[in-house]
Amino acid sequence: MPRIAAVSALTLVALAACSVAPAQRARTSPAPVTEARKADVDRAAPAPGESVLDRMLVRAADMGVEVEKPDATSERVVALAPALGGYVESSGAGRDPIGRDDRRVVLRIPSTVLDAAMDSVARLGHVVSRSRSAEDVTDEVVDLDARVTSLRASRDRLRQLLDRATSVSEVLTVERELARAQAELDSLEARLTQARGEVTLARLTVSLKRKHVLGPLGLALQGIGWVAAKLFIIR
């Protein structure tokens, strides 16, 4: 029993080591700043407008385009994804509230070519809507990366304890903690991979609608509306 308790204590120490280290560093008094060190700091400081850390942005864009043939145009939009180094996340067909054919395609493409992709889509028809957004996830990615690094170190220490275990009870105790640490590490690594993937690949959502073709009465009403508008507004 004393030996099992000792192994358990070592296990807890291994898991807590990463959280203790930052606290110890926080309590350590900073070294005096000499003139030489101050000069080094001044030289290392970023100039105004510069960023110490490249920001990690999740980019997304939405486009609404009127086209003559939504089916054929959607195939051209789908073909853009592999040509730009991405893939098609989803696609679908339907009708809008007034009965026009509607196609929706969602592309995942490298963030660096998002502008080029939007320009390519714009050339396929008449753009009726266009928007972009960017979400800064730098802090989240940095935090996940630090937690993964810390947990890997804890897992490795537990593996070392397992190699030194000499009884069945000791092995079971360490294996239980090791399994828990590995499961948590797998979860964090999956979240980190997903977060980095969101930064690398932008999401472009394209909605394609069939262009209106006015009949004789529609054209006549459109002309009347234009004349009526000019009676009130010249420019």
Phi/psi at 149 (5° precision): -60, -45
The token pair at 162 is: 């397992």
Indicate whether 123 pLDDT > 90: yes
Exposure letters 139-162 (e unless 16+ CB within 10 A, then b): ebbeebeebbebbbebbebbeebb
Q: How confident is the model at residue 99 (pLDDT cuts 50, 70, 90)?
A: low
Q: How confident is the model at residue 210 (pLDDT cuts 50, 70, 90)?
A: confident
- pLDDT, one tens digit per residue, over 23-47 is 343 334 444 444 444 444 343 344 4
Residue 68 contacts residue 116 (beta carbons within 8 Å): no
Q: How confident is the model at residue 102 (pLDDT cuts 50, 70, 90)?
A: confident
The token pair at 106 is: 């969602």
**Rounded Cα distance, 32 and 41, in Å:** 13
Residue 35 contacts residue 171 (beta carbons within 8 Å): no
Domain ranges in the chain are 1-24+56-212
**Rounded Cα distance, 107 and 10, in Å:** 50
Residue 158 contacts residue 182 (beta carbons within 8 Å): no
% of the chain residues with pLDDT over 90:
51
Burial of 4 per CB tally in 10 Å (0-12, 13-18, 19+): middle
3 state DSSP class of 230 = helix
